[in-house]
Amino acid sequence: MYIYPVFRPTRTIARNTFREAVRDRVLYNLVFFALLLIGGAIFLGELSGGQEAKVIVDLGLSATLLFGVFIAIFVGVGLVYKEIERRTLYAILSKPVGRGEFLAGKYLGLCLTLLVNVLVMGAGVSLALAYVAGGWNPLVLRIWPSILLIYLELSVITGVALLFSSFSTPALSALLTFLVFIIGHLSADLKSFAASLGGTTARWFFRGLYYLLPNFSHYSFITPAAHGYVPSFAELIMALLYAGVYVIVLLSAATLIFSRRNFK
Amino acid sequence: MKSNHKFEAMLSLLILLSFAGVVCLSRLMDARRRDIVATPSEEQLYLKGATAKRLSLAFNGLAADWYWMRSLQYVGGKVVKYQDTHPEQAQLDDLGALDLRLLPSLLRVATTLDPQFMAPYEYAAMILPTFSRDEAISLLHYGIEQNPAAWRLYQHLGYIYWQSHDYSKASETYSAGAKLPGAPRWMAEMSARTAAEGGSRRAAREMYQHLYDESNDDQVKQLLERRLMQVDSFDERDRIRRALENYAARSGRCAGSWREVASQLQTLQLRLDPVTGAPLDPSGTPYVLTKKGCDVDLDLNSRVPYR
C-alpha cells in the first residue's frame, strides 16, 4: 500500500508499538480479567431478579471502560519513558524521524492496541448477552455505539497519558492521568460549581478549567445502553469530533514539550 | 540424619497444630462476624442517591445494579429470617412484619443512580405500600418525572392507589398513562373500570392479570399469580357456598362431608379431589368445610392468600 513518505515513520513506530504491546503479558492478563468479569456477569445476573441483560451490559461495558483505562494509563505512561530508559530513543531520533512523528506513532500504536482490546471485550459482552437470551437479543447490536464511545474516551485518555509522560515520571503521569479521568467525569459539577461562585475571578477560573479539561460525560453511555438506548448519529459525530480535536491538542502539546527536552 | 528426621517431624507437628489453630480461629471469627454483620445491615445508608451518582463516575448503571441486588438480598434475608422463626410463610405483598426500614432508601438510591431502571419502581409498587405507602407513591412520582413517556409507571402508581382503595386517583392515573404513546388500550379500560367498579373482583382480576403479563420479575409474577388465584378462589367459594345452601335447604341440615354434595359440586365444574371428593382450590389444595358443614374456607396449607 502506498503511504505518503511523511507518514511512513509514524506508521512504522505505530506498528512496532502495537507489536510490543501485544507481546506484553500484562495486557493479556488485563483482557483476560475483563473477560472473566464479563463471564461472571452471567452468574451475577441470576441474582438480579430478571435483570440479567442489564447487569451483563452494565458490568461488561464498565469492565471494558475500566480495564481500557488501566491499559491506556499503564501502557501509555511507559511509551516514551521506556524508550528513554532503554536508550532506544537515541537510535530512533538519529534517523530521519521527527519527535512529533515519534509521539504520533506511539499514540497510534497504543490506540490500535486498545481498539483490538475493546473489540474483544465488546464481543465478549455480546456473546454473554446472546448466551443469557438463549439466542438473539437486540442489545447484542445496540451496545456497539456505546462501545465506540468508550473507545473514543480511551483514545483521549491515551493522549493525556502520553502528554504527561512526555515530561514526567511514569508513576506521576499515571496518577495525573487517572485524576484527569475522574475530573473528566465530574466536569459537569465543575461547571455548576463555577456558576455558584460569587467572585468573578474564581468563576472564570473554574469555568476555564471546565473547558480545558476533557469532558467525559459526553462518552458516558453505558447506563442508557443497558436499557437499549442508542446515541443519535449527531451525538456520535460530535463525540468523534470532540475526541479528534482534543487529541490534536494533546499531541501538539506533547510534541511541543518533547521537542524542547534535552536528551544529552 | 537423625536430627533431620526429628526436625521434619517437629515441623509436621507444627503444621498440624497450626492448622488446628487456624480452624479454631476461623470458627471463632465466623461466630463473631455473624454478630457484626447483623448490626450494620440496619444502619442507614451512608450515601444519598445524588452523592452516590456523583461518585460512581461513568459506572452509575453498575452501582444501580448493586443497590438493586442489595435490595433483593435485603428482603430475601429478612424473609428467610422470618420463616426461620415463624411457622407461616412471609408473603411478598404483606411484609409489614419484617421491618424493612432500609428498603425505601435502597430503592431510592438505585433509581437515583439509574432513573430509567424500571425494576425497582415495579418492586416498590408491589412491596412498599404495605408498610410505606407514601414512599412508594413518592418513588413512582419520581420515576414518572424522570421517564414521562413510561406508561408502565402509571400502571404501577395506579395499582398503589387502587390497593389503598383510592379508586378515583387510580382511575386518573390510568387515564393519564393511557394517553401516552405506546400505551396499550387496556389502560383506558382499566381507568374506566376502576372508576365504575372500584374494588370489584373483575377490576382486581384485570389489574393483576395486566401486571402479571407485563412483569419480568419472577418473584413479582409469583405474587400476582397468587393474587389471581385468590380472586378465582373468591368466585369458587361463592359458588360452593350456594351449593351448600341449596343442600341445606333441601335436606334440612348442613353437609357432613363433601361426598354428600358431590353431585352439586360436579355441576359447578370444579376440580375435585379423587379420594375425598373435596373441591380443589386454584393452588390444588382441597377446600375445607367450616361451620359444621354450612360454609367453605381455604385450607391452612393452601398457597392461595387468605387476606
Total-model pTM? 0.76
pLDDT tens digit string along A18-56?
A: 888 888 776 777 778 777 877 788 787 777 877 888 999
Q: Is the pLDDT of residue B212 over 80?
A: yes
Q: Show the cell assigned to B205.
A: 382480576
Question: Does the pLDDT value for residue B36 go beyond 60?
Answer: no
E-strand ranges in chain B read: 288-290, 295-297
How far apart CA B122 and CA B223 sit, in angstroms, is 12
Question: For chain B, which residues make up each domain, given as ranges?
Answer: 49-225, 239-297
Chain A residues with beta carbon closer than 8 angstroms to that of B216: 50-51
Average pLDDT score over residue span A192-196: 79
- Looking at chain B, the whole-number percentage of residues with pLDDT higher than 70 is 94
Q: Report the distance separating Cα B107 and Cα B49, nearest Å.
A: 10
Q: CB-based contact (8 Å) between A222 and chain B?
A: yes
Q: What is the pLDDT of residues A223-262, one digit of tens each?
A: 999 999 999 999 999 999 999 999 999 999 999 988 887 7
pLDDT at A82: 84
Q: Average pLDDT over chain B, rounded to whole?
A: 85
B57 and A CB contact within 8 Å: yes
Report the distance separating Cα B213 and Cα B190, nearest Å. Answer: 14
Contacts of A52 (CB under 8 A, 6+ apart): A42, A45, A46, A132
Q: Per-residue confidence at A5, pLDDT binned at 50, 70, 90? A: low
pLDDT at residue B37 above 70?
no
B73 and A48 within 8 Å at the Cβ level: the answer is no
What is the model's pLDDT at position B93?
A: 67
Contacts of B123 in chain A (CB under 8 A): 49
Residue B35 pLDDT > 60, yes or no? no
Q: Which CATH class is domain B49-225?
A: mainly alpha
Cβ separation A54–B61 shorter than 8 A: yes
CB-CB under 8 Å, A54 with B117: yes
The per-residue pLDDT for A157 is 96
B60 touching chain A per CB within 8 A: yes
Cα–Cα distance, B67 to A89 (Å, whole number): 50
Q: How far A47 CA sits from the closest chain B CA (Å)?
A: 7
d(CA B303, CA B298): 9
Determine the pLDDT at residue A21.
82
Share of chain A above pLDDT 90, in %: 42
Residue B40: what pLDDT? 47
| pLDDT above 60 for B46 | yes
Do A62 and B73 lie within an 8 Å CB cutoff? no
Tens-digit pLDDT profile for residues B245-260: 888 888 888 888 888 8
Q: Which tens digit of pLDDT belongs to each residue from B120-158?
A: 999 999 889 888 889 999 999 999 999 999 999 999 999
B138-143's contacts with Cβ under 8 Å and 24+ in sequence apart are: B139/B104, B139/B107, B139/B108, B139/B111, B142/B108, B142/B111, B142/B115, B143/B111, B143/B115, B143/B118
The answer to whether A66 contacts B59, with C-beta atoms less than 8 Å apart, is yes
Q: Average pLDDT, stretch B199-220?
A: 83
Residues within 8 A of A (CB atoms), B 98-137 only: 114, 116-117, 119, 123
Do the chains contact at A47 and B69, CB–CB below 8 Å? Answer: yes
Between B13 and A261, the higher pLDDT residue: B13
Burial (CB count within 10 angstroms: exposed 0-12, middle 13-18, buried 19+), residue B248:
middle
Residue B69 with chain A: CB contacts under 8 Å: 44, 47-49, 55
Cα A102 from Cα B62, distance rounded (Å): 39
Higher pLDDT, A46 or B243: B243
Q: Which residue of A has its CA nearest to B123?
A: A49
Distance CA(A21)–CA(B16), nearest Å, equals 46
Q: What phi, psi does A47 have (nearest 5°)?
A: -90, 5
